[in-house]
Amino acid sequence: MTVGVLIEHDGKHMKTSSRHVITAASECQKPIIALVIGYQLDSIAAEVALCDGLDAVWVLDHPDYEYASAERVALWVASLALTHVLASANAFGKNLIPRIAALLNVSPIDGVLSILADKHYVRAMYAGHILCDVISDDLIQCVTITPTAFKSCASLKQAVSIESHASVDLPLLSKRVSMHQADSESPELATAACVMTIGRGVPPELIPRIKRLAKRYKAALGATRAVVDAGLLPNECQVGQTGQVVAPDLYIAWGVSGAVQHLAGMKHSKQIVSINKNPDAPMNAFADFVLEADVVSVLSAWEARFASLEEKCVSQELEYEL
């Protein structure tokens, strides 16, 4: 009985979401192996090996895997003697887990929110509106885990062993030709402590100013589908049923109506603030704190607050120098 956790990384570091999956894996109470796939992985493997809860790290490090295609990754993972294969319920894990499941002839389970017993899970459907239990009869469990539903695992001082694996032979079925990555300066949207989300109620010329505000708070930038469809912010910012699922400590929604498809992606945030001038907007019934006002005036007030704080700091510094 061995649990394999597929580790997501960007070629430099492991993604925080994989730390949440390791915590979920530890609830299976079986040995846990982290699976790291790519090229030139030494530093990533060393980082992964410190994760609390692991028993070993298996590494497939090969130039052919610099672009780790689903076809090749699935073939390798399906060849390992694992009883559970877990990955995060995001574009990374959702791309891989069902294909691995097909090769193993098992019915995969998506977006697990809690593990009640071996092979017994809770998941959401209908845009998060309905929860259900799922029991699987399969000998091997192929599961994607909603990262925000589990804590992040800690890093230890002592590393577990790292084992190299040989690549598998499969003719090249797909290859990557280009990649556009979001700026890595801002925090990962899925695991950020604070998210500021821009909705259609934000006039486009205000977007750069909210971005600046988000930066000061080290907040990740989110968007509704309407804003992404309009080409105002990139797709990776979309929060919702069909975008990213987030659960930050603080979620600030600027001009967001609160459609069910949007709420599905942020309903588990600890504190939600809605800035929306329409008293009947669903978001204003849903959010913990509601500022029923125009985004323009709120943003100006917020900036003014910062400006005066900064002035104070500057004048204090001046006094000190004097």
Ligand X SMILES: Cc1cc2nc3c(=O)[nH]c(=O)nc-3n(C[C@H](O)[C@H](O)[C@H](O)COP(=O)(O)OP(=O)(O)OC[C@H]3O[C@@H](n4cnc5c(N)ncnc54)[C@H](O)[C@@H]3O)c2cc1C
Name the phi and psi angles at 220, rounded to 5.
-85, 150
Closer CB to other proteins, residue 23 or residue 224? 224
Q: Which of the ranges 82-90, 108-116, 145-153, 255-263 carries the binding residues for ligand X, by CB under 6 A? A: 255-263
Q: Is 287 in the site for ligand X (CB under 6 A)?
A: no
Residue 18 partner contact from ligand X, other proteins, none using kind-dependent CB cut-offs of 5 to 8 Å: none
| Choices 19-27, 37-45, 50-58, 119-127; region in contact with other proteins by CB under 8 A | 119-127
Of 156 and 170, CB closest to other proteins: 170
Q: Does position 90 bind other proteins by CB under 8 A?
A: yes
The verdict on 19 binding other proteins (CB under 8 A) reads no
- Residue indicated by tokens 């100006």: 300
Question: According to the binding rule CB under 6 A, does residue 201 interact with ligand X?
Answer: yes
**Angle at Cα 180 formed by Cα 177 and Cα 184, nearest 5°?**
140
Side by side, which strands form the sheet with 3-6? 120-125, 109-117, 141-145, 84-88, 3-6, 32-38, 56-61, 161-164
Where in 137-156 is the site for other proteins (CB under 8 A)?
137-138
What distance in Å separates the CA atoms of residue 103 and residue 92, rounded to the nearest whole number?
18
Q: With the CA atoms of 145, 8, 76 and 71 taken in that order, what torsion angle do they form, in degrees rounded to the nearest 10?
A: 90
Helices 91-104 and 70-79: crossing angle in degrees, nearest 10, is 50
Please list, in sequence order, all residues whose beta carbon lies within 8 angstroms of the beta carbon of residue 146, skipping any fewer than 6 positions away: 88, 89, 111, 112, 113, 245
Place of tokens 């790291």: 36
- Beta carbon of residue 132, minimum distance to ligand X (angstroms, whole number): 20
Segment contacting other proteins by CB under 8 A, of 29-37, 50-58, 182-190, 309-317: 182-190
Per partner kind, with CB cut-offs from 5 to 8 A, the member of ligand X, other proteins, none near residue 159 is none
Q: How far is the CB of 149 from other proteins (least distance, A)?
A: 12
For position 130 contacting other proteins by CB under 8 A, the verdict is: yes
Q: How many residues bind ligand X (CB under 6 A)?
A: 27
The reply on whether position 294 binds ligand X by CB under 6 A is yes
